[in-house]
Amino acid sequence: MALTAADVGRLADLARINLTPDELAHLAPQLDVILEAVAQVSDVASQDVPPTSHALELTNVFRDDVVQLSLPVAAVLAAAPATQDDRFRVPRILGEEA
């Protein structure tokens, strides 16, 4: 079933996208090709092929956490442009109130 310009217009309305009649006529066959490609992928999937999120098996590449000494607070804060109460001082954002 081919997508019509009316189908694309309905989708555009749902997505709150304003398209001209020329754009609808231009996009309808392109979206139809995309839908056919997705349908072909669905046809290939079978019961003996497990669903995966990646083509290759992934393994955890993170190292184990090791507790070790860190820099002294005074040394870290010495490089900061502004500090307050042993913390970095940054400007307020998003209209936060004090």
* Host H or E run for residue 7: helix 5-14
67 domain-assigned: no
pTM, rounded to two decimals: 0.44
Report helix, strand or coil for 88: strand
**pLDDT mean for each 10 residues of the chain (98 residues):** 87 94 93 89 74 79 87 92 92 73
pLDDT of residue 3: 83
Residue found under tokens 């009316």: 6
Report helix, strand or coil for 34: helix
CA atoms of 12 and 19, how far apart (whole Å)? 7
Question: How many domains does the chain contain in total?
Answer: 1
pLDDT of residue 97: 64
pLDDT of residue 50: 74
Beta bridge partners of 87: 84
pLDDT of residue 96: 61
Per the document, the length of the chain is 98
Residue 36 sits in a domain whose CATH number is: 1.10.20
pLDDT of residue 84: 92
> Whole domain around residue 27: which residue ranges?
5-44
84 domain-assigned: no
pLDDT of residue 1: 65
81 domain-assigned: no
